[in-house]
Amino acid sequence: MLIEWLSQVPNPATPFRPAVVARMGRLFGADRLPQEQYTDPPGDPGLFGPRSVTWRVHANPAMVIGGFSAVMLQTLHPLAMAGVADHSAWREEPLRRLSRTSSFVVATTYGSIPVADAMIEVVKAVHARVVGTAPDGRSYSANDPALLRWIHVAEVTSFLRAYQQYEPWPLSGADADRYLDEVAVVAERLGATEVPRSRAQVRAYLREVRPELAAGEQARGAVEFVRNPLGDDPWTQAAYGLVVQAGIGLLPGWARAMLGLHQSAVVERTIVRPATWSLISAMRLATGPPPALIQAQVRCAMVPAPVGGAGCAATLTPAAQARGAAGPAPVGAGRP
């Protein structure tokens, strides 16, 4: 297949690519939550730890594509969309919202348990203020367990699709299920209930929830806004446009149809995916492993966990423990 062939071709990394990657990084790092940090306390594995599938998936630069796909998918729930439209300045400050969402995902993935808990409490406090009435007359609350379940499922399934599409070594079915099982803890700590923990459970949930979904005026307006280029130069705008187009390609067919996002399958296979693969490869070459991952690996290898916890040391290889910092092997576990 074309994508498999492209994955074996050395990326030319032409001179403009590192600059584009740097600009994209600034684009999505505009504002971070103050609780975000990855160095303390030493030995704390966080909610997942180095041997988790979650660490592996969330270290992939394709996460940004999954993030945009998730945003578009989430708009289809009228109550969730109403909460965003009524209580968020996303049109005036789109980069702030994107950055803060990224901050939450990264910190709950690689931060220590106290950091993850602090981030979750921040979001719960914000959600407590997000209440109102949707255009269809129904009341909504961002702390509604059913809405939290929808937001979570839309998000993590989009991350998983992006990883499977743009990672040279996709997850096995068992590891994909393990990922969904692992990340359910974040949704549950936020207050979601009956969170799907496998691909089969996700499919059943989506069949159940689809009658509640609709591409109303708010949803279509939000998606149209997302598709407008961000950035102040042609290269950044082109990269942003490609990421959004790739995110559209990850949406389930029924979601694309509801949102009126029609894209030729030929264009998707021959232009969008190869170009996106090239951009993701350039990002890997230009940035290396995420700084949060590296800091979390070092934190995990420093000392055993406090009394009562298995800690990171139990999840690291003897070689990693001996050198005092976890190498990349745990995150890439399962690769050839």
Q: How many CB atoms lie within 10 A of CB 223?
A: 21
296 contacts 312 by C-beta, under 8 angstroms: no
Terminal-residue alpha carbon distance, the chain: 19
pLDDT tens digits along 208-262: 999 999 999 999 999 999 888 776 778 778 888 899 999 999 999 999 999 999 8
Identify the pLDDT of residue 264: 84
Confirm whether 308 is domain-assigned. Answer: no
Q: Considering only CA atoms, which of 1, 153, 7 is closest in space to residue 77?
A: 153
Burial 135-156 (b: 16+ CB within 10 A, else e): eeeeebbbbbbebbbbbbbbbb
In this structure, the strands spanning 131-133 and 139-141 are antiparallel
- When mean pLDDT is compared across 131-145, 172-186, 260-274, 307-321, the lowest value belongs to 307-321
pLDDT tens digits along 142-166: 999 999 999 999 999 999 999 999 9
Cα Rg of the chain (Å, integer): 20
* Alpha helices, H only, 8-93: 16-27, 53-58, 63-74, 78-87
Confirm whether 212 is domain-assigned. Answer: yes
Q: How many CB atoms lie within 10 A of CB 97?
A: 18
Q: Please give the residue range of the domain that contains residue 140.
A: 2-38+58-287
Confirm whether 272 is domain-assigned. Answer: yes
Q: What is the pTM of this model?
A: 0.84
Q: Return the structure tokens found at 245.
A: 């187009």
Assign 80 a pLDDT band (cuts: 50, 70, 90): very high
Confirm whether 312 is domain-assigned. Answer: no
Count: domains in the chain = 1
pLDDT tens digits along 167-208: 999 999 999 999 999 999 999 999 999 999 999 999 999 999
Identify the pLDDT of residue 319: 34
Confirm whether 299 is domain-assigned. Answer: no
